Chains A and B, each alone.
Chain A
């Protein structure tokens, strides 16, 4: 899912960096100091969850859970994902400085959209919760894969085949993400329902 350094065109890198900067700035502005520690602790939990590899047939994929992260953190998800990607770059050298912007944008835009689309359904006493949670996981990973593929395809004609293959490879991952997100939400709803009502930002 992470594009490595040295692949994308300057225009795509620049646009990604600018959009990510805008998102991070918005997220930080809405995050007050009182909730900063809570957001940090939840981000570390999401980071650890993303280290879980679930088997999908003969292959395996690591969890992303970025849709759920977005539902819980709102706009604060953008700086949280930026930090997580920076830590991944420092720890595992996945991604890197120049692609940090593009990767942040592709991973963080769907969660913010999920926040507006699914938050009411997940935190309310809704019968739709399971379906909404599945959609949240399924769509956010799908949208991230789509944006990543777009970033590749926009970098040059020669990348379009790779971009299509990347998108195709993510279809089983989308289903796995949807199922696991629905199960995680059901776990939280049963064990600690207050958590689904947590707001990380002062206004939305």
Chain B
């Protein structure tokens, strides 16, 4: 659950400085989020897919992640096609044969070309950004991302919070997993009832209480090693030459897509 399946690899993207990759991922995401027409959005999706291909990411796992992301997109597909005026593509209802209480008037819906286009645009953009994000940020482990955050000039408290939370997450997750296993062995099968809710609340409460106790012990361990209210960061070695160039190329591509999107209506293209 807490593994980082894309972070292991030896592609050029895996080896690049996480700072450069983060900046590139952010620029790409912002540019792609601002796109308004399907052509550039499709190109953005291709760019994201190309980056994943370059990083040689394992396809089955990549598709599983994409499927999870598209749950929200699928939810939007239930509404967006019917929510914009335009040329009708599909009409559901009205249902003249059915009594009014079973199929009231508002249940009759019309899917329009504009609505479908909007849903398609959202799908393209969403997947484009996620693919680029996996290829750029997912190819570093989270520890490296945390260090990159600090060295990009963000507040060191924020980076430390990210790094320490990530470190402890594994300890707490294992603890929770053992509690759940113990409940399972004692015949616990969840259902929609108070016993289930109480059991999960007890487990969540126990995880919190044990974390609170651990925080005390970790605090002691820190003081014993001379901690006096100040964290000192180790200097990290600089990234490889060419990483900045790599980031610059990706940012330029994203900017070009955005420019095309803005200039497209002005040029009168379809």
The answer on direct contact between A and B (beta carbons under 8 Å) is yes
How far apart are B46's CB and chain A's nearest CB, in angstroms? 15
Residues facing A in B71-92 (CB within 8 A) are 72-73, 75-76, 78-80, 82-84
Residues facing B in A130-161 (CB within 8 A) are 157-161
Residues facing A in B25-73 (CB within 8 A) are 25-26, 29-30, 32-34, 65-66, 68-69, 72-73
Identify the closest chain A residue to B80 (Cβ): A158
Residues facing B in A153-202 (CB within 8 A) are 157-162, 165-166, 176, 179-180, 183-184, 186-188, 191-192, 195, 198
| Neighbouring B residues of A183 by C-beta, 8 Å | 197-198, 201-202, 205
Beyond A87-B162, A160-B83, A162-B79, whether A5 also contacts B130 by CB under 8 A is yes
Beyond A5-B126, A93-B68, A94-B69, whether A40 also contacts B83 by CB under 8 A is no
B118 within 8 A of A: yes
| Neighbouring B residues of A86 by C-beta, 8 Å | 162
A113 within 8 A of B: no
SS of B interface (majority): helix
B208 touches A94 (CB 8 A): no
Of the candidates B73, B157, B194, the one whose C-beta lies within 8 Å of that of A31 is B157
Q: Which of A32, A38, A157, A184 has the most CB of B within 10 A?
A: A184
A40 touches B168 (CB 8 A): yes
Beyond A37-B164, A87-B169, whether A28 also contacts B157 by CB under 8 A is yes
Beyond A7-B122, A87-B162, A162-B78, whether A93 also contacts B4 by CB under 8 A is no
Identify the closest chain B residue to A56 (Cβ): B192
| Neighbouring A residues of B145 by C-beta, 8 Å | 90
SS of A interface (majority): helix
A6 touches B222 (CB 8 A): no
Of the 9-residue stretches B132-140, B240-248, B259-267, which lies at the interface with chain A?
B132-140
| Neighbouring B residues of A198 by C-beta, 8 Å | 212
Residues facing A in B99-144 (CB within 8 A) are 115, 118, 122-130, 133-134, 137-138, 142
A114 within 8 A of B: no
A198 CA to B192 CA, complexed, in Å:
32
Of the candidates A4, A57, A80, the one whose C-beta lies within 8 Å of that of B69 is A4
Of the candidates B84, B133, B172, the one whose C-beta lies within 8 Å of that of A158 is B84
Of the candidates A31, A54, A94, A195, the one whose C-beta lies within 8 Å of that of B212 is A195
Beyond A47-B165, A187-B201, whether A36 also contacts B29 by CB under 8 A is no
**A-B interface contact total, Cβ < 8 Å:** 244
A128 within 8 A of B: no
Of the candidates B69, B158, B190, the one whose C-beta lies within 8 Å of that of A93 is B69
B169 touches A52 (CB 8 A): no
What bracket does the count of chain B residues touching chain A fall in? 35 or more
| Neighbouring A residues of B33 by C-beta, 8 Å | 5-6, 8, 10, 13, 98
A19 within 8 A of B: no
| Neighbouring B residues of A80 by C-beta, 8 Å | 161, 165
| Neighbouring A residues of B84 by C-beta, 8 Å | 157-158
Identify the closest chain A residue to B145 (Cβ): A90
Leading 7 A-B pairs by shortest Cβ distance? A6-B125, A187-B205, A183-B201, A40-B164, A45-B211, A6-B126, A5-B129
Question: Can you identify 14 A-B contacts, CB atoms within 8 angstroms?
Answer: A13-B33, A33-B231, A41-B215, A43-B161, A43-B165, A49-B204, A52-B203, A54-B197, A63-B200, A65-B204, A93-B66, A94-B69, A159-B83, A162-B78
Residues on B close to A: CB < 8 A? 1-2, 4, 25-26, 29-30, 32-34, 65-66, 68-69, 72-73, 75-76, 78-80, 82-84, 115, 118, 122-130, 133-134, 137-138, 142, 145, 155, 157-158, 160-162, 164-169, 171-173, 175-176, 190-192, 194, 196-198, 200-215, 218-219, 222, 229-231
Beyond A41-B214, A195-B209, 14 extra complex contacts between A and B, CB < 8 Å: A6-B33, A36-B164, A42-B215, A44-B168, A48-B207, A51-B173, A52-B200, A90-B137, A93-B65, A158-B118, A161-B79, A176-B197, A183-B202, A184-B204
